[in-house]
Structure 1
Amino acid sequence: MKIDHYVRDESGEATVSWVLISAGAVALTLAAISLLAGGMEEKSDLLSTTISERPVGPE
């Protein structure tokens, strides 16, 4: 087979496109999670402190 056959072959083009789209979606998801994680940790610490300082039982 000649190299021209491989240059003109488009059978894998859709697969490559979907792989790139999927990789982009995963990258955006991971970026969003990393941005939100810091804020969530701060809120979680505040909630933990608030709960632990509350008295338990009747006052």
Structure 2
Amino acid sequence: MIKFINNFCKEEDGAVTVDWVVLTAAVVGLGVAGVATVKGGVDSLAGNVETALSGGSVISLGTLGQE
């Protein structure tokens, strides 16, 4: 049992794994925060594009304009 505890204390694989898990969670958290930050602007831009495109009509092939 003492040998097992000594080997466990010498190994660093578990600590490195925990470091990578924490680092990965931080990166994912930053990504989610970034998406949440720009979501409102993207929704607004999409609404503006929808309004602009729904108000137009195709006059001839390849031309977008008012009738």
TM-score, normalised relative to structure 1: 0.78
TM-score, normalised relative to structure 2: 0.70
**Pairs aligned (count):** 57
More strand by share: 2
- For residues 53 and 37 of structure 1, the distance between their equivalents in structure 2, rounded to whole angstroms, comes to 25
Gaps in structure 1 of 5+ consecutive residues: none
Q: Deviations over 1:19-55 (max 9, x none)?
A: 0000000000011011111110000000000011113
Matches within 5 A, 1:1-59: 1=1, 5=5, 8-9=9-10, 10-58=12-60, 59=67
- For residues 11 and 20 of structure 1, the distance between their equivalents in structure 2, rounded to whole angstroms, comes to 14
- Output the aligned Cα RMSD: 2.0
Gaps in structure 2 of 5+ consecutive residues: 61-66
Report runs of 4+ in structure 1 exceeding 6 Å deviation: none
Higher relative contact order (CA 8 A, sep 6+): 2
- For residues 24 and 55 of structure 1, the distance between their equivalents in structure 2, rounded to whole angstroms, comes to 47
